[in-house]
Structure 1
Amino acid sequence: MQQQRYYSLDVFRGATVALMILVNNPGSWEHIYTPLEHAPWHGCTPTDLVFPFFLFAVGNAFSFVMPRFEQKGNSYFLKKVFKRSILIFLIGLFLNWTPFVQWSNGHIVFKGFEHVRIMGVLQRIALSYFFAALIIYYAKARGAFVIGCIILLLYWVFTLLAGEPGDPYSLQGFWGTSF
């Protein structure tokens, strides 16, 4: 049975992948076109939209596939979610590792795995997809909304308590910049 395609979602996903590739490979890292750089803290550039656009596409796709997952049962759902999550994670690792060779000082140098960014954009999307799928499948829409609100509030409180006293939401005071 041929599954229905949602071409607008496919086009949006493809455009987001193209933007991700452009952002990850801007040409010269010394002279990057300003919109291809992240905003320092406040503000937004096209680069800052790659991750949210992917998550938007993933969230949209859930509305189309969840009824089919529910029809086919728990084991089908878990198998599909684990497989997709692992594939997206591995594709992200592969993209971060390429090119495998570089030209340096007149020689070909093979790029080792130690230069791979383990938690790149696609890897984070894979984890987001995995946990969101589990939450949506088992908690349904209302439960997912409540869980999402709880996670957001806990993150806000954690950022408040773990950040610099007096200014935990600034770039200098944010707890995540200390890693």
Structure 2
Amino acid sequence: MCFDLKVFYPHKEKNMTLDKVLLIFGFCCLTIIGILFSIKSVYASNLLHVFNFLVLLAIVGYVVRGIRRKGKIQNLHGRCSGSIVFSTCKIKIDENVYDCSEIKSLLIYSHDYRGKPLLYSMDNMLSNGSSNEIIVKFKNNNESKFYFIQENRNAIKKYSPIFEKYINEDGIYVDIVDF
């Protein structure tokens, strides 16, 4: 049996993906350029030329790396094990089985799927689909948090009838954030 949702255990709590690294790098470069432009001296002029040269080298390196890795899926930094199964009376996440009577809310953050383009520019690198979370909150105010991998964009949507049953019959608050 093939499962569309798999549990993912990252090596670090927050897995830095390529798009996050480039976003942070871009903001840092803009901040440094802003600081150098605010300083009006001869030293700032020389620093600006050196910094512009370094940024140009980084852009050339980014383009060369993008051409070499075009269309490849980003490496996972963690392990993928187990499956996620939503049934009418139980939720199974890897080895953990939760009865619907003890669950207060189910929050699903579905950001990513396997093969999603990370950047729509010259890089064209693909995602591994690991930037998704399930947070299960229990009636005794405990909570469990799991990361998961989606094989395709609509993997979580096929469980919509079961989620409606959770809301209507079991009184579980279900929130799915999909962007």
- Do both share a fold (TM > 0.5)? no
Higher relative contact order (CA 8 A, sep 6+): 2
**TM-score (structure 1 length as normaliser):** 0.23
